[in-house]
Copies of this chain bind each other. A is one copy, B any other.
Amino acid sequence: MATSSREGDQSTHASAEEDSAVGEDTHTWARLDAWWRAANYLSVGQIYLLDNPLLREPLRREHIKPRLLGHFGTVPGLNLAYAHLNRTIRERDVDCLYIAGPGHGGPGMVANAWLDGTYTELFPTVTSDLVGMQRLFRQFSFPGGIPSHAAPETPGSIHEGGELGYSLSHAYGAAFDNPDLVVACVVGDGEAETGPLATAWHSNKFLDPVTDGTVLPILHLNGWKIANPTVLARIPEHELLELMRGYGHDPLLVSFEASDASDDVHRTMAAVMDTAFDRIAQIRRAAAEGDSQRPRWPMIILRSPKGWTGPEQSGGLAVEGTWRSHQVPLNDPRGDERQLEQLEDWLRSYRPDELFESGGAPRPETVALAPAGEKRMSASPHANGGFLRTPLDLPDFREFAERVTSPGADTAQATGVLGEMLAEVIRRNPQNFRIFGPDETASNKLAPAVYEATEKQWNAEVSPLDEHLARAGRVMEVLSEHQCQGWLEGYLLTGRHGVFTSYEAFIHIVDSMFNQHAKWLEAASEVSWRRDISSLNYLLSSHVWRQDHNGFSHQDPGFLDVVVNKSSDVVRVYLPFDTNTLLSTYDHCLRSTGYVNVVVAGKQDAPQWLSMDEAIEHCANGLGELAWASNVPDGEEPDVVVAAAGDVPTMEMLAAVSVLHEELPDLRIRVVNVVDLMRLQSEGEHPHGMPDDEFDALFTRDRPIVFAFHGYPWLIHRLAYRRFGHPNLHVRGFKERGTTTTPFDMVMLNDLDRFQLAIDVIDRVPGLGDAGSQLRQDLENRRRDARSYAREFGEDPSEIQKWVWPADA
Contact = CB atoms under 8 A, between A and B. Distances in A.
A720 to B, nearest CB: 10
Contacts of A721: 714, 717, 721, 726
A710 interface: no
A762 interface: no
A462 B467 CA distance: 49
Interface in A327-370: none
A100 to B, nearest CB: 14
B246 A242 contact: yes
B522 A736 contact: yes
Interface stretch (A32-40, A232-240, A387-395, A778-786): A232-240
Contacts of A165: 195, 509
A20 interface: no
Interface stretch (A110-118, A377-385, A474-482): A474-482
Contacts of A742: 143
Contacts of A19: none
Nearest to A714: B718
Nearest to A294: B235
Nearest to A324: B465
A226 B550 contact: no
B235 A205 contact: yes
Contacts of A322: 465
A479 B193 contact: yes
Contacts of A515: 505, 508, 556, 558
B242 A794 contact: no
Given A239-B246, A511-B508, A142 B190 contact: no
Q: How many subunits of this chain does the assembly comprise?
A: 2
A199 interface: yes
Nearest to A466: B229
Contact of A736 (B227, B565, B718, B745): B565
A531 to B, nearest CB: 20
Contact of A567 (B146, B149, B736): B736
The listed residue with most B CB atoms (<10 A of its CB), out of A65, A439, A506, A727, is A439
A231 interface: yes
Contacts of A12: none
Interface in A426-484: 439-443, 447, 456, 458, 460-463, 465-467, 469, 477-480, 482-483
Contacts of A143: 739-742, 745, 790-793
A243 B247 contact: yes
A777 interface: no
Given A146-B740, A506-B163, A456 B228 contact: yes
18 contacts: A66-B793, A146-B740, A162-B551, A193-B202, A193-B480, A195-B200, A225-B479, A227-B441, A227-B442, A228-B456, A229-B466, A234-B460, A234-B461, A235-B461, A241-B246, A242-B246, A245-B246, A519-B553
Give 9 nearest A-B pairs by CB, closest first.
Answer: A243-B246, A195-B195, A69-B549, A143-B791, A162-B553, A242-B246, A234-B460, A198-B199, A508-B512
